[in-house]
Amino acid sequence: MAVHRLPISQYLFPIGSLGLAAVIYFGATSIEHSPLSIKILALVAVAVFIFATVFVVLHHAETAALRLGEPFGTLLLTFSVTAIEASVIVSMMLHGENNPTLARESVFSTVMIVCTGVVGVCLTLGGLKHRYQDIKRQGTNASLTVLMALTVLTLILPNYTLATGPGTFSALQLAFVSILSILLYSAFIFAQTVRHRGDFIEDLASGAENGEHAPEGGKATVNVLLLLVGLAGIVLLTEQVAGSIEDGLEFLQVPQADAIVGFFVAALVLMPEAVSAVRAALNNELQRGLNVALGSACATIGLTIPAIGAASLVTGRSLILGLGSGDTVLLILALAISIVSFGTGRTTMLTGLVHLVVFVAYLFLIVVP
């Protein structure tokens, strides 16, 4: 039997991204201390390399998912992407002077991009192609319930506690909420993979109907290793680009610098999951797409908030988690329309357009607060 070999590009970009990051971090090359023209060209080249690596990483994630089966393949991608975001946010927190709101903006951007942008595109394109799409209400509602609890506890509740100033937790409160987040997300993973696994899997094997089969030959080990190597390179390169953007926005005295950087980090890190979710919706596997999208939002809060909370407690840097009034309204609106959209178990193009309208409003308010 012929041995399945990966194209050279599938090795080149993951290993190359990690190597490029190592050169920037530990070699003689330094983007931050270069002339402005060279810095801009270098940042553009790095950004292009990141985008290319993202799609290669996505290929490895999808191949591993086909070989591991659902929902384990989806969880592999979710955990990997969440590890990226947590690492980037913690690194950005420790970059330069104390920036107490950057972590909040990154997490909030992730939730808004997922619940309005990614979900909106999935429902709209899926509705255009298939007219109606059915979902498992049990699994989707479980994801939304966990997301709502985590979101309110970490991004809204800090505005109403009395131990410290508005928007912040005391050290004891932060540790308590972090532990609750981990426990709740762990229970969600147990339900998704063991106890109620059937609630998160398509009734019909839509992929099989469309001719999708697990790749022949080879093992998932190679794909998983290249996935992790590529993600590590993306983490380090994204941190470099985001740090330079943050410094540039501060130099230009842009008032919404944290929101812009937070959106950039969230959008770049979520790209593999976003593309995977949209492909699933177009392939009439909307439930798998929602598992990817909503699972990433739950993981972002359930795992990233404890990580940045621990970093804050260890380093002594202040952390502001409470959202402003305008962002709170947008967040509640996004969660509310998600409940209504998935309440019937069937979605249409119109459902997706409602999510996209909220997403566009979110983008507009970043630029014009």
Residue 150 pLDDT: 92
User: Is 294:300 a contact under the CB 8 Å cutoff?
Assistant: no
Rounded CA separation 231/276 (Å): 15
Q: Which residues contact 325 (CB under 8 A, 6 or more apart)?
A: none
Kind of pairing, strands 133-134 and 346-347?
antiparallel
Give the count of beta carbons closer than 10 Å to the beta carbon of residue 238.
25
Residue 98 pLDDT: 66
Q: Strand ranges (DSSP E) for the chain?
A: 133-134, 346-347
Beta-bridge partner residues of 347: 133
Percent of the chain with pLDDT over 70: 82
Q: Is 71 helix (H, G, I), strand (E, B) or coil?
A: coil
Q: Is 205 helix (H, G, I), strand (E, B) or coil?
A: coil
Task: Using the Cα atoms of residue 127, residue 197, residue 296 and residue 150 in order, give the sign of their dihedral.
Answer: positive
Q: What DSSP state is assigned to residue 323? A: P
User: Is 121:278 a contact under the CB 8 Å cutoff?
Assistant: yes
Nearest to 239 by CA among 57, 94, 39: 94
Q: Per-residue DSSP letters for 90-137?
A: HHHHTSSS--TTHHHHHHHHHHHIIIIIIHHHHHHHHHHHHS-EE--H
Q: Which residues of the chain have pLDDT under 70?
A: 1-6, 25-37, 39, 65, 68-74, 77, 92, 94-98, 199-200, 202-219, 243
Residue 30 pLDDT: 52
Q: Which CATH superfamily is domain 8-205+219-367 in?
A: NCX, central ion-binding region (1.20.1420.30)
Residue 70 pLDDT: 61
Q: Is-above-0.85 flag for pTM?
A: no
User: Is 271:57 a contact under the CB 8 Å cutoff?
Assistant: no
Domain ranges of the chain: 8-205+219-367
Q: What is the pLDDT of residues 252-277, one digit of tens each?
A: 777 777 888 888 888 877 877 788 88
